[in-house]
Amino acid sequence: MSDSAFHLARDAASGFAREGAGVRLAVEPRLGIAKLQVLGSDPDFWFEEALGIAAPAPLREIEPEPVACAWLAPGEWLVTGPEEDVERVRQRCDNVAGNLGLMVDITHARAAFELSGVGARNVLAAHCPLDLSDKEMPVGAAKRSTFSDTGVFISRRPDRDGAPCFRLIFDQTMAAYAERLLDATTTGAAP
């Protein structure tokens, strides 16, 4: 598939948004996504040297504007934000890491959604086994989990209008499946 076909598909998806029963679900079509992985005895030190900030703690996400960096595993992080900024971070890390790192742009391999509202936890709980309470999933938390029959990356974003907000990232091959489940649950979610 050509690059222009990817852009056309992403532009078409940008119109997807649903609201119902205290929940808003929208596609984040222009979200850049990169995976950073570094080998070495002290990956957190490498992260700080490469980016000039402390690495996020396990299961946490930090937002050194204009991007967000989430811990995935020791020596492995997910960077999200505007595509050009994510690419800039990815290139910088690639240059610093050399042969000790793998810095991959996975923007076109993923689909991102934002789910917010007073019923957002109910929508997620219908498909995901995580405890999504404020205590276990506070703002800044980032976790990988199952979502029905697929995997998902979930980060808790700053609240919107006093209600929780989550970013959900799926493998692109499961995007239609996830969208169908989220859409059906969103329209029937109770606050």
Please write the tens of the pLDDT for every residue from 117-150. Answer: 999 999 999 999 999 999 999 999 999 999 999 9
List the CATH code of the domain at 3-29+109-188: 3.30.1360.120
Burial of residue 94 (number of CB atoms within 10 Å: 0-12, 13-18, 19+): middle
User: Model pTM?
Assistant: 0.88
**CATH code of the domain occupying 31-107:** 3.30.70.1520
Return the pLDDT at 21.
Answer: 75
pLDDT number for residue 14: 53
Q: Is a pLDDT exceeding 70 seen at residue 190?
A: no
Q: Where are the domains of the chain?
A: 3-29+109-188, 31-107
Residue 2, pLDDT score: 38
The pLDDT, as a whole number, for residue 17 is 77
Tell me: pLDDT of 112 over 70. Answer: yes
Q: What are phi and psi of 11, to 5 degrees?
A: -65, -40
What is the side-by-side order of every strand in the sheet holding 101-105? 61-62, 68-73, 76-82, 31-38, 101-105
